[in-house]
Copies of this chain bind each other. A is one copy, B any other.
Amino acid sequence: MSATQEDYIKVLFELGGKSRNVSNKSVAERLELSPPTVTEMMNILVTAGYVEYVKYKGASLTDSGTRYAKHIIRKHRLWEVFLVEKLGISIDAVHREAELLEHVTGDDVADKLEVFLDYPKFCPHGGAIDFDEMDRQETELKTLSEVEVGRTVKISRIIDEEKLLMFFKTQKCDIGDILVVEDVDEQIDLITTYNKTKDQRLQLSLSISKYLFVETA
């Protein structure tokens, strides 16, 4: 599989392709490609046995595809841990680097890297490295936007997209922080929370809060 194809598989996984049917449009948006390009690639990935595709309905991952995606994601996250913890590169810069490293890392290197890093459980953005824990995160985590007013939650994971990471860097807000959801205003697209850990108010748009994964604290 080419690096290109691995990125498609990964996006399918990240968009829930293990269970749902993922639309070509969403894949195209994520990878910044045109929809026809995605259609074409889906057919290739079907032939390769990683994807099931229903015309006009979208793609889902086969077991083989899901396993493959997890392997790449594991490598991605191991590199992120290395880059942050050993090289001291900032948390918002590592994603771009890992996005390339993940495709040129043999299984043996990944395994030895994991040992060297002393079996980290999560990447710097809170993503699980262990396969089972990946599954658990997918079922048990919800986005901050889905939390009812009044609930107290813990920030478990930030989707690592460049812009978001910059936002969370400027706002003082980290993985593990405890938030109380004080108000959700769909009209003005705003969610108001109180960050207990940092002892300060945190307001953010609902659209951004969709990329913040939390679990009941």
Residues of A near any B CB (own CB < 8 A):
83, 86-89, 93, 97, 100-101, 103-106, 108-109, 112-113, 115-116
In Å, the complex CA distance between A86 and B89 comes to 18
Complex: how many Å from CA A113 to CA B108?
Answer: 20
* Copies of this polypeptide in the complex: 2
Q: Which residue of B lies closest to A86 (CB)?
A: B116
CB <8 Å contact, A89 and B101: no
A–B complex contacts, Cβ < 8 Å, 21 sampled: A83-B109, A86-B116, A87-B109, A87-B112, A87-B113, A87-B115, A87-B116, A88-B112, A89-B108, A89-B109, A89-B112, A93-B108, A97-B104, A97-B105, A97-B106, A97-B109, A100-B104, A101-B101, A101-B104, A103-B104, A104-B104
The 10 closest A-B pairs by CB, nearest first: A100-B104, A87-B112, A87-B116, A86-B116, A101-B104, A97-B109, A104-B104, A97-B106, A89-B112, A87-B113
